[in-house]
Amino acid sequence: MVMQFIRKAGLFLATAMASFSAHADYAWNFPKPVTPMALDTLHVHNKFMLITMAIFLVVLAIMIYSIVVHRKSKGYKAAKFTGPSTKSQVFWTLVPFAILLYIDFILMGIPAYHSVVMMEDTKNEAQMVVKVTGSQWRWQYEYMDGDAQGIKFVSNLTTPQDQIENKIEKGENYLLEVDNPLVLPVDKKVRVLLTANDVIHNWWIPAFGASRDAIPGFLRETWVKVEEPGTYRGQCKELCGKGHGFMPAVVKAVPEEEFKQWVVAQKEQMETAAAGADKEWTKDDLVAHGKGVYEKNCAVCHQVTGAGLPPAFPALTGSKIVAAPNLDEDGKLLKDSHLDRVLNGKGVMPAWKGTLNDTDIAAVVTYERNALGNSVGDMLQPSQVKALR
């Protein structure tokens, strides 16, 4: 029994060591900077680390000397001094503090000042504005100006639950992969506005050096200017509930031309979606489309089966709200109805009207009423949702 345990532990340690050497290029410092701000942060960080390391080593050396030499076991007789006595001693006692003041407010203080000013200069020469909205537990992106104005989408984690539960092997970008990354052109200063729908989040891409809280009800801002095309991965950095560890922020930086093509493609997609809102859908089509919307956006809390996680996240299966009618006889939205909850949210439930389009909302509501163990029987057309906006 004991031997078996030791053998198992040994095997385990061996695999741990092997996997360690496999990552020999492990990062000991910040990731490679790709924005001016990240580069500046890295320089400041390296400089400060060297300074503090030097202070630490000098003080440690003095202490080690004292520990080795000034020992009773070596017969060292204790001195009696309790402070500096002569003028020159007072002078030499003050020298370390003069050096410290110089380090604090000149050597470190001046570069730190310039970094702060640079970090907070979000508006000057900004060529583009992007709005980032945090919600539990996904990021939403919206382009605020230029050709891309009006493009908006939600960015969800795509790592399968089976990988998280260790049922299948984990992919290369485990927990750092999304369906729709934020696409930005390189070499353009992008002003990033941040807000949140529910609790405080923090949008952070380590390679950008920018990190700012997204606060519900307020706008905060930062900026990025990506200088190298590539995909950059980060995470939400402010504890925001149970999904906090599963809320990656991914940015794809592309050359200007490619960005323009992407904008055109996105605009075409938006037009198709808008056209979809005006056509008459069948119930089966709505339910089929709604299933996808549900599993992407709603299943995190209400679960794939609709059982929810009471008391925080109520079950949809057998829910009284789901069973009640959505609209009155004149087609007006009933307060506290199923559709009202989806559109406007309440408490923990986010408002989806700004995030999902008419087709998605109509489909997901129809799905929830006719699947997940519910059979209310009615359906909602995208045009009805559109009329309520």
Between 172 and 257, CB nearer to other proteins: 172
- DSSP-derived pairing of the beta strands 190-196 and 220-224: antiparallel
DSSP states along 149-217 = TT-EEEE-B-S-HHHHTTSSPPPTTTTS-BSSPEEEETT--EEEEEEESSS-EEEEEGGGTEEEEE-BT
> Does residue 303 come out as left (phi exceeding 0), alpha (psi in the -120 to 50 range) or beta?
left
Question: Which alpha helices (DSSP H) does 217-282 contain, by range?
Answer: 256-278
* 114-122, 184-192, 257-265, 315-323 -> range binding other proteins (CB under 8 A): 114-122
* 116-124, 260-268, 273-281, 365-373 -> range binding other proteins (CB under 8 A): 116-124
Contact 212, 132 (CB under 8 A): no
* 106-114, 271-279, 285-293, 334-342 -> range binding other proteins (CB under 8 A): 106-114
237 binds other proteins (CB under 8 A): yes
Residue numbers 127-146 binding other proteins by CB under 8 A:
none
Cis previous bond, 262, omega within 30? no
Binding test (CB under 8 A) with other proteins, winner from 216, 229, 276, 345: 216
Looking at the DSSP bridge assignments, the partners of residue 135 are 138
Place of tokens 């920018």: 210
Rounded Cα distance between 358 and 388, Å, is 10
Q: Please give the span between the terminal C-alpha atoms of the chain, in angstroms, as a whole number.
A: 68
* 15-23, 125-133, 178-186, 262-270 -> range binding other proteins (CB under 8 A): 15-23
* 180-188, 219-227, 258-266, 290-298 -> range binding other proteins (CB under 8 A): 219-227
* 61-69, 123-131, 259-267, 285-293 -> range binding other proteins (CB under 8 A): 61-69
Contact 253, 226 (CB under 8 A): yes
Looking at the DSSP bridge assignments, the partners of residue 378 are none
- Residues touching other proteins: how many (CB under 8 A)? 101
Between 153 and 204, CB nearer to other proteins: 204
215 binds other proteins (CB under 8 A): yes
Binding test (CB under 8 A) with other proteins, winner from 134, 181, 185, 234: 234
Rounded Cα distance between 67 and 74, Å, is 11
30 binds other proteins (CB under 8 A): yes
36 binds other proteins (CB under 8 A): no
204 binds other proteins (CB under 8 A): yes
Rounded Cα distance between 179 and 172, Å, is 15
Residue numbers 248-287 binding other proteins by CB under 8 A:
none
Binding test (CB under 8 A) with other proteins, winner from 107, 126, 231, 243: 243
CB of 106 to other proteins, least distance (A): 11
62 binds other proteins (CB under 8 A): yes
* 65-73, 138-146, 273-281, 357-365 -> range binding other proteins (CB under 8 A): 65-73
CB of 19 to other proteins, least distance (A): 7
CB of 180 to other proteins, least distance (A): 19
174 binds other proteins (CB under 8 A): yes
283-297 and 358-370 helices cross at what angle (nearest 10)?
A: 100
In total, the chain counts a number of residues equal to 389
What the block records as the tokens of 272 is 């198709």
CB of 227 to other proteins, least distance (A): 18
Residue numbers 289-348 binding other proteins by CB under 8 A:
311-312, 347-348
DSSP states along 332-347 = PBPTTSHHHHHHH-BT
Between 213 and 358, CB nearer to other proteins: 213
Give the number of other CB atoms < 10 A from CB of residue 134.
27
49 binds other proteins (CB under 8 A): yes
Binding test (CB under 8 A) with other proteins, winner from 2, 3, 5, 77: 77
Looking at the DSSP bridge assignments, the partners of residue 205 are 210
